[in-house]
Structure 1
């Protein structure tokens, strides 16, 4: 009976394990069976951990994809903003540079203007002097408005002075306009009482003044209070003194015709 039980037990063990049957040792059978069950239990946690790790990796992959997507969009926006911020200083720098260029241009234009002026002056200085045109008047005679005028350096009476002028193709000066009077007066030198005969007299009729060509005087450039015929003064003369307040258009006086004074001749300019 005991052997039969042992055989049955051995057969049961063989079905479970293809090892040697060592007899009806229950403890061994229990231990071995426990080991097999332990192996099954140990394999289950590894499978669970592997599955968890795979899930975590999948989640991490999705998170990374989403993060990269947002990061890419953010990078583009940040890049655009950075470019805008960078372009603003560029515009400011260009504006400042343009202003500096305009200022430099203005300074250069001023320098060019100054240089042009200097060049013009140098050209004028180096240009040959114009060839003087031949005067229509003889030597020592001055030209004005179609006539030639001579200022004597010697003295004669009024009649002798007229004779000298006639001998030189003219007559004592006939003065009709303020411009002519001023021109002649400017030719005279200043002095204490520099007096010069010109071509007017009232020898024929007192206070009826005529020019040497026979025309009657109209107006004139008399000093105030002149003519006064103080000492039988029948001939006209003009003065130019050291008094600077005297003017050309108030410089005529009358005097005795026999006095010796310098004179002023006039004749037509040669054509």
Structure 2
């Protein structure tokens, strides 16, 4: 067979190499002798050799795969680390940008809040203008009338105990800072009526006269009389009666609002003075 011939030829060559090697003198490499190389006799037959070759090839393949795997792993590690670093840098950049955006939005919010407050202030000023509060007035002190004078509204009234004619009575009231009483309302008339004592014919001058023009009655301040509280049938100018007085008798049917009479100004009667009072005014008036 061809295989057997080739095997025999190989064996012969192998034997020849061994013989040549043994017949060579020692070869020195430097100072050290190089030992003779002995070739291991190749086992005869192809079965064990092929098995060993397959095993060796398999082992080499496993080692190669392991080396490739290790190399690939070593190469991918730096690459993965680079990607992680790049990703971290991106995240840091995003965080920085986000913080800057937040700060900008906060500034814009503050600006908008300021503008809002200004607009609200302008709106409030437009809708509700500032109201100027009036200066609080001091509480006026109560009016105190002098002794024997009686207060009604803002005036003090004096009922005399002595008699005078109408002109003298007016002069006396003026000397006290007043005048013969001017009576405009039923309330004032009733107040004075209640101060007067009852008597057989108690008469009291007050500040009305028509001495300048008959039947044109005027008050002592020059204003004309409107209405009045005359007794029925009065004034009648019976005997040149140009001055007015109030009469209060013991007759209980006689009432305040019908108690005025006219009489001669020269008659002597008691009288009623009036003095207008300011807040807190008090004057001791002799009588």
Q: CA deviation at 1:270?
A: 3.7
Q: CA deviation at 1:265?
A: 0.2
Higher helix share: 1
Aligned to 2:146: 138
Q: Deviations over 1:57-77 (max 9, x none)?
A: xxxxxxxxxxxxxxxxxxxxx
Aligned to 1:190: 198
On the 8 A contact 1:143/1:269 being kept in 2, the answer is no
Alignment of 1:200-215 (within 5 A): 200-215=208-223
Aligned mate of 1:160, from 168, 185, 192: 168
Aligned to 1:80: none
State the Cα RMSD in Å: 1.2
Distance 2:154 2:143 in 1: 11
Distance 1:217 1:204 in 2: 14
Alignment of 1:85-96 (within 5 A): none
Report runs of 4+ in structure 1 exceeding 2 Å deviation: none
Q: CA deviation at 1:230?
A: 0.2
Equivalent position SS for 1:263? strand
Q: Deviations over 1:231-257 (max 9, x none)?
A: 000000001100011100000000000
Q: Deviations over 1:62-114 (max 9, x none)?
A: xxxxxxxxxxxxxxxxxxxxxxxxxxxxxxxxxxxxxxxxxxxxxxxxxxxxx
Distance 1:263 1:239 in 2: 11
Distance 1:210 1:267 in 2: 18
Q: CA deviation at 1:135?
A: 5.4
Distance 1:262 1:176 in 2: 20
Confirm whether residue 231 of structure 1 aligns to residue 225 of structure 2.
no
Distance 1:213 1:147 in 2: 15
On the 8 A contact 2:143/2:154 being kept in 1, the answer is no
Equivalent position SS for 2:203? strand
Confirm whether residue 171 of structure 1 aligns to residue 179 of structure 2.
yes
Paired residue total: 139
Q: Could you say which structure has the larger radius of gyration?
A: 2
